[in-house]
Amino acid sequence: MSGQAPRRAADAIFAGGSAVLAAAVYFDARDIPESPFDPLGSAAFPLALAGLLAAFAVVQLGRLAFGAATGASSVALVHGLDGEGAHRRRVDLAATIFAMTVAYAIALAAGIGFLAATVVYIATAGAALTLRDRRVAAKVAAIGAGLGVAIWFLFTHVFLLQWP
């Protein structure tokens, strides 16, 4: 039972943080000006996301209030991962991917082109997620580069969006 208290506290903090984030997005999205060409308006998507995030936060807090565990499962979704500790936790990899995602967002905000930033991000993130096998990492990097170009082509030539 002693292991449950920290997990429940972490789940409560996460749910509370999600509710605060939902409120911040909601109040910020209300200030988005009306769009002259979009019948739903520019704020529709952020408002919907804020509503969904708030609903999930309420569900998680409700589950915690009624004693349901939100962060654990008695059944593994992947064959062979039954039981605690059956897989290796890679905190270093999670931190690396998070840092790469932040760097990608900063690169986009700094005006580096979408194509270059996306190709580098997808290729390097995919290579980092391999098990440090150079052949697999090279294949994943090539697939990531191709995927980045495909995403750029789809948005600029099919959806006709003007991206840097």
- This prediction's pTM: 0.52
Phi, psi dihedrals of residue 7, rounded to the nearest 5°: -65, -40
Among the listed residues 149, 123, 147, the one whose alpha carbon sits nearest the alpha carbon of residue 137: 123
Residues 6 or more apart whose Cβ sits within 8 Å of residue 35: 41, 42
For residue 93, give the amino acid letter. Answer: L
- Asked if residue 89 lies in contact with residue 99, where contact means CB atoms within 8 angstroms, the answer is no
Local structure of 131: helix, strand or coil: coil
Q: Cα(148)–Cα(142) distance, rounded to whole angstroms?
A: 10
| pLDDT tens for the 164 residues of the chain, in order | 455 677 778 888 888 999 999 999 999 988 888 877 767 777 888 889 999 999 999 998 888 888 776 655 565 555 555 555 555 677 888 899 999 999 999 999 998 888 889 889 988 888 888 877 788 888 888 888 899 889 889 888 887 777 76
Please tell me the predicted confidence (pLDDT) of residue 1: 47
A 10 A CB-CB count for 101 gives 12
